[in-house]
């Protein structure tokens, strides 16, 4: 997982923080939306997103880590504040 320190950060939730990031950066046409489901991954709701994060190395992908498939694909890396929200959401046990 990412080495970011989430101490003192308000715990992000899917409904308040992560869903907007997923809907604007990941679950888009041609990527991980319900119509496309690139690589069989759909990030359109809490259950699908949590499951995908638990079974894939998405934190490596969004951080453009070595050996990972960079996400968003063919786009610049997400802003650090968005990556921090996603990382702290994952590190906090994926609160809905």
pLDDT (0 to 100) of residue 48: 93
The residue ranges of the chain whose pLDDT is under 70 are 1-3
3-state DSSP assignment of residue 73? coil
pLDDT at 2: 59
Q: Which pTM was predicted?
A: 0.87
Report if residue 51 sits inside a domain. Answer: yes
* 40 within domain boundaries: yes
The whole-number pLDDT of residue 56 equals 83
pLDDT of residue 96: 97
What's residue 85's pLDDT? 95
Range of the domain at 61: 14-91
Residue 96 inside a domain? The answer is no
Decide if 5 is inside a domain: no
Query: String of b and e for 24-61 (b: at least 16 CB within 10 Å)?
Result: ebbbbeebbbeeeeeeebbbbebebbbebbeeeebbbb
- Structural domains counted in the chain: 1
Q: Is residue 62 part of a domain?
A: yes
Q: What is the pLDDT of residue 55?
A: 86
Q: How far is CA 89 from CA 5, 6, 26, 61, 96, in A?
A: 12, 9, 16, 16, 9
């Amino acid at each position: 997982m990412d080495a970011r320190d989430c101490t003192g950060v308000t715990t992000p939730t899917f409904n308040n923080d992560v869903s907007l990031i997923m809907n604007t950066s990941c679950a888009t046409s041609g990527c991980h939306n319900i119509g496309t489901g690139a690589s069989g991954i759909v990030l359109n709701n809490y259950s699908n997103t949590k499951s995908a994060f638990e079974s894939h190395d998405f934190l490596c992908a969004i951080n453009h880590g070595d050996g990972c498939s960079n996400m968003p694909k063919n786009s610049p890396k997400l802003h650090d504040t968005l990556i921090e929200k996603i990382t702290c959401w994952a590190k906090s046990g994926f609160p809905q």
